A and B are shown apart, each in its own frame.
Chain A
Amino acid sequence: MAVSVDEAVSTGPARDRTPPARRFGGRGRSVLEVALLTALAVVMLFPVLWMIETSIKENRDVYAVPAEFFGFTVTMDHFKDVFVAPDGGRSDLSVAFLNSAVVAGVSTLLATVLGVPAAWAYSRFAVRAKKDQLFFILSTRFMPPVVVVIPIFLMYRQLGLIDSKLGLILIYTAFNVPFTIWMMKGFVDEVPAEYEDAAMLDGYTRLQAFWRYTLPLLVPGIAATAVFALIFSWNEFVFAIFLTSSDDVRTAPPAIAGLIGGTTTDWGLVAAASVVFALPVLVFAYLVRKHLIAGVTLGAVRR
């Protein structure tokens, strides 16, 4: 069988190409692969490096043609502008960053408080139509935000929640609960139910068994899940731009996007604001790198 396979592959022009590859052995090919990987890594990382570089360039270097890669004057002015207004007070952007932190933090906390118990219940009990319920929960997370925002906008207008942090917190919580349930269900499944059974034999109620035995074991999972929820809320843009308008309420993504509104754009400031905005996300993502696959597939794929 092996012979026939080799023959099948090396008929025709392929025959001319295979021998050199064999002669180089693993080495030549390995060098080629490393070179290719390096080139790809450079392409993938270049925009990020360019953003960082732009944020520390003086304005005349930012717009230089041809672009300056090295040898420009380093300045921290753009970062100062991100936090300090021209008149010396707090800038709009710094307020937006603070709003983002509040909205992302509170909505993550709420989603965790609502999602973790639900995940535990779905994992441990025979809930009626469990699969359908879980499907329904995940599908709410897949709804196109532009579509959901239309009725939410009308609803918030009735309730007076337009342009309020509470409104954003509520929608972000609703948006993170499905994720929390799916992600946490995986973590709960990994904790043997026997621990709780044993505790119940010792006279604890089911709730006490959950609280004393299972919950402490779930803490690392809860932390990882919360970090992802935090990242999702922090990065969210669509709801933020349609449901808020005033500077006191607006979160960072629409505020940063608002920097390109006028006829001229201060790209140095945009770059600095983007760096400040992205840095915490990258740090957090690095902390939860072990759970990244589960996190980015909304808890559906686990390895």
Chain B
Amino acid sequence: MLAVTFISPALLLLLGMSVFPLLWALYLSFTDYSATRGGPARFIGFANYTAILTSAQVHQRALTTLIYVVGAVTLQTVLGFGIAYLISRRAHGRGVLTTLFLVPMMLSPVVVGLFWRFMLDAQFGVINSMLGSLGLGQVEWLTRQRTALISLIVVDTWQWTPFIMLIALAGLTAVPKYLYEAASIDRASEWFRFRTITLPLVWPLLLIAVLFRSIEAFRLFDLVYILTNGGPGVSTETLSFHVYKVAFLGFNTGTASAYGILMVLVVIVLTQLYLRYLNKLKEG
């Protein structure tokens, strides 16, 4: 059958490169295997899982991740939607404006991370230099516990606001003009029009963007690695970053696998949610 011959090569690759490794990780998560010590893996049941779920360290990383995801995604949504709204009200230059705003999104996290690290440098960074010429004090952006996480959120927001903007703009330009015209005949206020026409029509699409960004932010690793390397202390260690430390610096492969499987479960739930809204949007 043609369909099978066309689909199976792709599925086989995914089975080999995604499913098989995950099943292997699932198996390892019930053992005390260590990639460096070698030797046979001993079966230890759910010990890895209980260790992770009861670990205060992991709870702290979960909290950091939560603050980061909620903080970054909220900021991006507000800013992105705001910019999209402003652009959608312009009659001219929309194309140019949109293109300019999209640049950060297309850059590699490595470039973004490195560059912000340079700009946020406490001694010769341009941000502190600008603060200085405004007569404001210097901030140790990446080397203080409290500001490091904020810096991470700011950088992520800088990179991904365009993403929300792009999708919100698509939603905003799809709102039929006659609805606004009808509303202005009724002399409805601007805020009323926004709340009753714009928002309900754009919201489903915006929600998709928000969920998508949440998944991405949850699994983020590279930006943390480059910008702060989890520090100072453990103040910017997200769950993704912690898994890396357990697996590649602590070499507790079994524990790291269990940790990874738990993260995969979270991602699967979020993806389910994402696809459910997507289906709703397509049918509605």
Is the CB–CB distance between B118 and A282 below 8 Å? Answer: no
Complex interface bits, A98-138 against B, C-beta within 8 A gives 1, otherwise 0: 00000000000000001101101110110100000101111
Residue in chain A with minimal CB distance to B185: A2
Tell which of A70-78, A80-88, A148-156, A215-223 binds the partner.
Answer: A148-156
- Chain B interface: which size bin? 35 or more
Q: Is A238 located at the chain interface by the 8 A CB criterion?
A: yes
Is the CB–CB distance between A37 and B124 below 8 Å? Answer: no
CA gap between A44 and B154 in the complex, in Å:
12
| B13 contact set on A, CB distance < 8 A | 114, 173-174, 177
| B161 contact set on A, CB distance < 8 A | 44
| B119 contact set on A, CB distance < 8 A | 47, 50
Is the CB–CB distance between B6 and A278 below 8 Å? Answer: no
Q: Is A249 located at the chain interface by the 8 A CB criterion?
A: no
| B272 contact set on A, CB distance < 8 A | 135
Is the CB–CB distance between B2 and A147 below 8 Å? Answer: no
A257 contact from B20, B132, B226, B247, Cβ within 8 A? B226
| B221 contact set on A, CB distance < 8 A | 144-146, 238
Is the CB–CB distance between B21 and A152 below 8 Å? Answer: yes
Q: Is B106 located at the chain interface by the 8 A CB criterion?
A: yes
Distance between B216 CB and nearest chain A CB, rounded to angstroms: 9
Q: Is A256 located at the chain interface by the 8 A CB criterion?
A: yes
| B99 contact set on A, CB distance < 8 A | 286, 289
Per DSSP, chain A at the interface is helix
Is the CB–CB distance between B108 and A207 below 8 Å? Answer: no
B110 contact from A47, A65, A237, Cβ within 8 A? A237
| A244 contact set on B, CB distance < 8 A | none
Is the CB–CB distance between A154 and B24 below 8 Å? Answer: yes
Per DSSP, chain B at the interface is helix
| B264 contact set on A, CB distance < 8 A | 143-144, 147
Is the CB–CB distance between A127 and B3 below 8 Å? Answer: yes
Q: Is A206 located at the chain interface by the 8 A CB criterion?
A: yes
Distance between A180 CB and nearest chain B CB, rounded to angstroms: 8
CA gap between A285 and B103 in the complex, in Å:
9
Complex interface bits, B13-27 against A, C-beta within 8 A gives 1, otherwise 0: 110111111101100
Q: Is A12 located at the chain interface by the 8 A CB criterion?
A: no
Is the CB–CB distance between A235 and B3 below 8 Å? Answer: no
Is the CB–CB distance between B21 and A117 below 8 Å? Answer: no
Is the CB–CB distance between A281 and B25 below 8 Å? Answer: no
Q: Is B133 located at the chain interface by the 8 A CB criterion?
A: yes
| B158 contact set on A, CB distance < 8 A | 44, 47
Is the CB–CB distance between B212 and A297 below 8 Å? Answer: yes
Contacts A37-B90, A66-B132, A301-B278 given; does A144 touch B107 at CB 8 Å:
no
Q: Is B253 located at the chain interface by the 8 A CB criterion?
A: yes
Contacts A47-B104, A144-B260, A151-B257 given; does A300 touch B208 at CB 8 Å:
yes
Is the CB–CB distance between A281 and B192 below 8 Å? Answer: no
| A231 contact set on B, CB distance < 8 A | 106
CA gap between A57 and B83 in the complex, in Å:
33
| A225 contact set on B, CB distance < 8 A | none
Distance between B117 CB and nearest chain A CB, rounded to angstroms: 7
Is the CB–CB distance between B104 and A44 below 8 Å? Answer: yes
Is the CB–CB distance between B219 and A144 below 8 Å? Answer: yes
Listed residue (A1, A67, A259) with the most chain B CB atoms within 10 angstroms of its CB: A67
Q: Is A292 located at the chain interface by the 8 A CB criterion?
A: yes
B170 contact from A120, A133, A173, A303, Cβ within 8 A? A303
Q: Which of B75-118 contact A (CB under 8 A)?
A: 79, 83, 86-87, 89-90, 97, 99-111, 113-118
Is the CB–CB distance between A253 and B240 below 8 Å? Answer: no
Q: Is B37 located at the chain interface by the 8 A CB criterion?
A: no
Q: Is A24 located at the chain interface by the 8 A CB criterion?
A: no
CA gap between A147 and B209 in the complex, in Å:
24
Complex interface bits, A12-56 against B, C-beta within 8 A gives 1, otherwise 0: 000000000000000000000110110011001101101100100
Listed residue (A147, A153, A281, A301) with the most chain B CB atoms within 10 angstroms of its CB: A147
| B70 contact set on A, CB distance < 8 A | none
Q: Is B230 located at the chain interface by the 8 A CB criterion?
A: no
Is the CB–CB distance between B166 and A292 below 8 Å? Answer: yes
Q: Which of A209-261 contact B (CB under 8 A)?
A: 231, 234-235, 237-238, 241-242, 253-254, 256-257, 259-260
Distance between B68 CB and nearest chain A CB, rounded to angstroms: 14
CA gap between A245 and B158 in the complex, in Å:
31
Complex interface bits, B252-277 against A, C-beta within 8 A gives 1, otherwise 0: 01001101110110011011101100
Further pairs besides A139-B267, A150-B256, A174-B14: 6, Cβ < 8 Å: A142-B270, A144-B240, A150-B247, A151-B28, A170-B17, A300-B278
Closest 5 CB pairs of A and B: A147-B260, A174-B17, A151-B21, A144-B219, A235-B108
